[in-house]
Structure 1
Amino acid sequence: MSKKLVIKVTAGADSAERCSQAFTVAAVAVASGVEVSLWLTGESAWFALPGRAAAFELPHSAPLVDLLDAVRAGGRITLCTQCAARRDITEKDVLEGVRIAGAQVFVQEAMADGTQALVY
């Protein structure tokens, strides 16, 4: 049975520590060989756009852009459909490899055998 981790991050710059924790856990899991699906919802939706993660700063934490790149390289990143719509973000706006999908896809991923889900 393969290991899979689904992480939903709702925080952005509005709650920097919670946001950084989610991205850190996702990047460490990818580096550990875990299949990772990172969902960007709420204020974290902005990190689906080019340049946004590079502007994020939190003392004593890894650069968010590096964590995001690690997850993009070895996992899957999904931007919530409704969160994207509320921010006028479309598929042509997002980073390469980021998909836009809704709650049905999240539930399918979170309920799959061998999957653990975390919400930040």
Structure 2
Amino acid sequence: MTAARKKLVIKVTAGSDAPERCSQAFTVAAVAVASGVEVSLWLTGESAWFALPGRAAEFELPHAAPLPDLIESIRADGQITLCTQCATRREITEKDVIEGVRIAGAQVFVQEIMADGVQALVY
């Protein structure tokens, strides 16, 4: 019998407006994925822009891993979700986002964080 895989849900609200907080969220998500943890990263607020192609490449923070690399590692084995309301406010649709990013709302977020064995973080 194998142990259930642990899940980590991370909600990142910061973008270029708070680069250290933003980078921390993506870094924690990428490290968790690399450690075998099931990860669901939610892009809300200003981080919503990173669901668009090329936007992560514009992000810079000295001594931090490049955001495009972190996103790729998260997408490889994790789930990235763009908040429905955040997408709507920014006129972002499913056809606009990078491959593998889904758009979902609060109901899905609540379902994820209320599941057994889930840990949630907000940045």
TM-score (structure 1 length as normaliser) = 0.99
Shift of 1:98: 0.2
Q: Deviations over 1:48-81 (max 9, x none)?
A: 0000001100000000110011101110000000
Please, which of 40, 46, 49 is the counterpart of residue 46 of structure 1?
49
Shift of 1:2: 1.9
- Max Rg structure: 2
Q: Aligned partners of 1:27, 1:55: CA distance in 2, in Å?
A: 19
Please, which of 97, 112, 117 is the counterpart of residue 114 of structure 1?
117
The runs of 5 or more residues in structure 2 that have no matched partner are none
Please, which of 13, 24, 29 is the counterpart of residue 16 of structure 2?
13
The runs of 5 or more residues in structure 1 that have no matched partner are none
1:62 is aligned to: 65
Q: Aligned partners of 1:7, 1:77: CA distance in 2, in Å?
A: 10
Q: RMSD in angstroms over aligned alpha carbons? A: 0.4
TM-score (structure 2 length as normaliser) = 0.97
| Aligned length, in residue pairs | 120
